[in-house]
Amino acid sequence: MQVLVLAPHGDDGRIIGNALNAVGGQGQACADAAQLLAAVRAGAACAIVEKESLNASVLDGLADWVAAQEPWSDFSFLVMEPASPPARAANGAAADGDHGACDRLGNVTLLQRPLREDVLRRAVTTALRGRGRQYEARAALHRQGQSEESLRLFNETLETRIAERTHALARANDRLMKEIRERERTQSALVQSQKMEAIGQLTGGLAHDFNNLLNVIMGSVELIQRTSSDDRLRRLALNAKHAVERGAKLTSQLLAFSRSQNLDLRPTDINALLAGMRELLGLSLGPTVRVSTDFAPELPLATADANQLELAVLNLCLNARDAMPAGGEVSLATAVRESGEGDLPAGRYIVVAVKDTGTGIPSRVLNKVFDPFFTTKPVGKGTGLGLSQVYGIARQSGGTARVTSVEGHGTVVEIWLALADPAAVDGMPSTDAVAHPKASAASVLVIDDDASVRHLIVECLQILGYEVRQAADGEEGLAMLEEQQPDLLMVDFVMPKMNGAEVIERARSLFPDLPIILATGYADAQVGGTVLQHERVLQKPFNLDQLAAMVSEALQR
What is the C-alpha to C-alpha distance for residues 546 and 244, in angstroms, rounded to an integer? 15
- Do residue 416 and residue 466 come from a single domain? no
Give, as one character, the DSSP assignment of residue 430.
Answer: P
Whether 210 is in a domain gets the answer: no
- Do residue 342 and residue 381 come from a single domain? yes
**Residue 412 and residue 402 in contact, taking contact as beta carbons nearer than 8 Å:** no
Cβ neighbours for 402, distance < 8 A, ≥ 6 positions apart? 342, 413, 414, 416
- Do residue 274 and residue 415 come from a single domain? yes
Which residue in 208, 244, 247, 258 sits closest to 528, CA to CA?
A: 208
- Do residue 385 and residue 466 come from a single domain? no
What is the C-alpha to C-alpha distance for residues 260 and 495, in angstroms, rounded to an integer? 24
Whether 201 is in a domain gets the answer: no
The helix/strand/coil state of 196 is helix
Q: Check residue 464 and give its pLDDT.
A: 85
Question: 10 Å Cβ neighbour count for 378?
Answer: 7
Please report, for residues 198, 248, 339, 385, the alpha-carbon distance to residue 208 in angstroms, rounded to integers and kept in the order given.
15, 11, 40, 22
- Domain of residue 461: give its range: 443-556
Whether 147 is in a domain gets the answer: no
Q: Check residue 331 and give its pLDDT.
A: 94
Q: Check residue 120 and give its pLDDT.
A: 86
0.75 cut: is pTM over it? no
Cβ neighbours for 194, distance < 8 A, ≥ 6 positions apart? none
H or E element: which one contains 434? none
Cβ neighbours for 302, distance < 8 A, ≥ 6 positions apart? 267, 268, 270, 350, 397, 417, 418, 419, 420
- Do residue 11 and residue 46 come from a single domain? yes
**Residue 54 and residue 48 in contact, taking contact as beta carbons nearer than 8 Å:** no
User: Which positions of the chain have pLDDT values less than 70?
Assistant: 7-10, 84-101, 145-151, 185-186, 188-208, 249-262, 340-343, 370-386, 423-441, 522-535
- Do residue 544 and residue 509 come from a single domain? yes
Q: Check residue 381 and give its pLDDT.
A: 44
Q: Check residue 253 and give its pLDDT.
A: 53
Which residue in 290, 300, 291, 284 sits closest to 334, CA to CA?
A: 300
Q: Check residue 352 and give its pLDDT.
A: 95
**Residue 313 and residue 255 in contact, taking contact as beta carbons nearer than 8 Å:** no
Whether 509 is in a domain gets the answer: yes
- Do residue 390 and residue 485 come from a single domain? no
Which residue in 541, 461, 464, 457 sits closest to 241, CA to CA?
A: 541
Query: For the chain, how many structural domains are there in total?
Result: 3
CATH number of the domain enclosing 22: 3.40.50.2300
Q: Where are the alpha helices (DSSP H) in 25-116?
A: 33-42, 56-67, 100-103
Q: What is the DSSP string of 226-260?
A: HH---HHHHHHHHHHHHHHHHHHHHHHHHHTTTS-
Question: 10 Å Cβ neighbour count for 384?
Answer: 15
**Residue 314 and residue 280 in contact, taking contact as beta carbons nearer than 8 Å:** yes
Whether 66 is in a domain gets the answer: yes
Whether 218 is in a domain gets the answer: no
Residues in the chain: 557
**Residue 521 and residue 210 in contact, taking contact as beta carbons nearer than 8 Å:** yes
Q: Check residue 354 and give its pLDDT.
A: 95
- Do residue 278 and residue 328 come from a single domain? yes
**Residue 106 and residue 112 in contact, taking contact as beta carbons nearer than 8 Å:** no
- Do residue 458 and residue 538 come from a single domain? yes
CATH number of the domain enclosing 331: 3.30.565.10
Whether 165 is in a domain gets the answer: no
What is the C-alpha to C-alpha distance for residues 524 and 204, in angstroms, rounded to an integer? 9
- Do residue 276 and residue 401 come from a single domain? yes
Which residue in 221, 264, 303, 233 sits closest to 543, CA to CA?
A: 221
Chosen domain end from 424, 452, 478: 424
- Do residue 388 and residue 483 come from a single domain? no
Whether 102 is in a domain gets the answer: yes
- Do residue 520 and residue 474 come from a single domain? yes
The helix/strand/coil state of 80 is strand
**Torsion (CA) 45, 48, 52, 56 in degrees, nearest 10:** 0
> How distant is the alpha carbon of residue 175 from its chain centre?
27
